[in-house]
Copies of this chain bind each other. A is one copy, B any other.
Amino acid sequence: MKSEALNNNQLTESPMNIIDGKATAQQIKAEIAAEVKEIVAAGGKQPHLAAVLVGHDGGSETYVAAKCKACEECGFKSTLIRYEADVTEQELLACIDRLNQDADIDGFIVQLPLPKHISEQKIIEAIDYRKDVDGFHPINVGRTSIGLPAFVSATPAGILELLKRYNIETAGKHCVVLGRSNIVGKPVASLMMQKGYPGDATVTVCHSKSKDLKEQCLKADIIIAALGSPEFVKADMVKDGAVIVDVGTTRVPSTVTKSGFKLTGDVKFDEVAPKCSYITPVPGGVGPMTICSLMMNTLHAGKKTYYR
């Protein structure tokens, strides 16, 4: 019944409104795959995403593998380019230049973090902004802020897509963003205050220097928690009926799981959930939407929706 509701793009109120990021992501990937099929059938180009992976960081390996798998589900072509951790900045810049020039590559990402001897900012700025499907290039950040069409970075885009798919009202609502990072806090704040839907919210950004964080949270209609501080948001910080979006994903040691750790959000789910109208779980909330947003950006890169 839940998936049926999702298909209708409307969820009816239920006593336990858990936002199902996994199901939503699956559905969006199916929509993308259908569109790619049509494009290719009409003689158009199959979207092609390349990913550059440096070294063998466990987290990065997992993310890149998941991105390649998502490409397959969407009917995209994907290319993985690997470098050892001792690759020079110059070699990496030369690789980016080749990808910028390669007409078959519609979009590409360089998986972060990079080894310390390489400037991440320099790498990001070397990427042709028209292929910057991660949305990290200053031109895409700036255009997003001004309200122009652009590649929006994956996590903020995923959050807004969830709000939209669950028809959550945002206009005139007080949205408190916890965290001011460049990849989540700042861009999601910027999008939530934008004109239109989802947007038009009164937005407050709190962070480590905020003195009135609890007070701000208690007034919030929507809380977007992106501090990376496990179970920071407690029940006594949330008003009844609030919408909670939990972006935190910290690996916390666990004796229950096989891996010896579990992904823990910024929200103390068990005590907060009963007070909320909607809440995203961790895992299975914002996480799956992040890769899904990258897929949407790649589709738009292939269709040249924003540039050229």
Contact = CB atoms under 8 A, between A and B. Distances in A.
A99 interface: no
A205 B192 CA distance: 10
Interface string A10-40: 0000000000000000000000000000000
Interface residues of A, number: 40
Contacts of A180: 193-195
Given A202-B210, A205-B202, A148 B172 contact: no
Contacts of A201: 209
Nearest to A141: B142
Interface string A178-205: 0010100011011001110000111111
Interface stretch (A78-86, A107-115, A211-219, A229-237): A211-219
Contacts of A204: 202-205
A145 interface: yes
Contacts of A100: none
Name the 6 nearest CB pairs between A and B, nearest first.
A142-B142, A138-B142, A141-B142, A200-B209, A204-B204, A202-B210
Interface of A: 121, 137-143, 145-148, 171-174, 180, 182, 186-187, 189-190, 193-195, 200-207, 209-213, 216, 219
